[in-house]
Amino acid sequence: MNRDQLAHVLRAAAKISNDPEIIVIGSQSILASFDETDLPAVITMSIEVDICFRHDPEERNSDLIDGAIGELSSFHETFGYYAQGVAMTTAILPAGWENRVVAY
């Protein structure tokens, strides 16, 4: 996945969920800080990005994402990459993580 693909997924997820406060969890989050040309090629090998929603305690938006642009969806088949909707509790985040979030 590259930055343009990440941006595409995030735009689609925001439209589907009607919620622009998306958090990228996992390896693809580095694309918010660095262009893929500045990173080792292995970084762009993933075809999925884990996303969660800041205000989604019942994980409804995560479920919407899985169905609409998740693995094996028409989005995935069309573009070759997809989003995985996850819960905020998927990641074990250190104290103060919110102060280090990079807006994209």
Query: Cα dist. 31→18, 43, 68 in Å?
Result: 23, 9, 23
Query: What is the tens place of the pLDDT at every residue in 55-83?
Result: 898 999 999 999 999 999 999 999 999 99
The band of 90, judged by pLDDT with boundaries at 50, 70 and 90, is confident
Residue 87 DSSP symbol: -
Residue 74 DSSP symbol: H
- Whole-model pTM: value is 0.93
Neighbours of 11 (CB within 10 A): 12
Query: What is the tens place of the pLDDT at every residue in 5-54?
Result: 999 999 999 999 999 999 999 899 999 999 999 999 998 999 999 999 98
- Per the listing, tokens 């103060």 go with 96
Kindly list the domain boundaries of the chain, sorted by start residue: 3-90
Closest CA to 16 of 75, 64, 51, 49: 64
Q: Which two tokens stand for residue 18?
A: 């009607």
Give strand pairing partners of 37: none
48-53 and 82-85 as β-strands: parallel, antiparallel, unpaired?
parallel
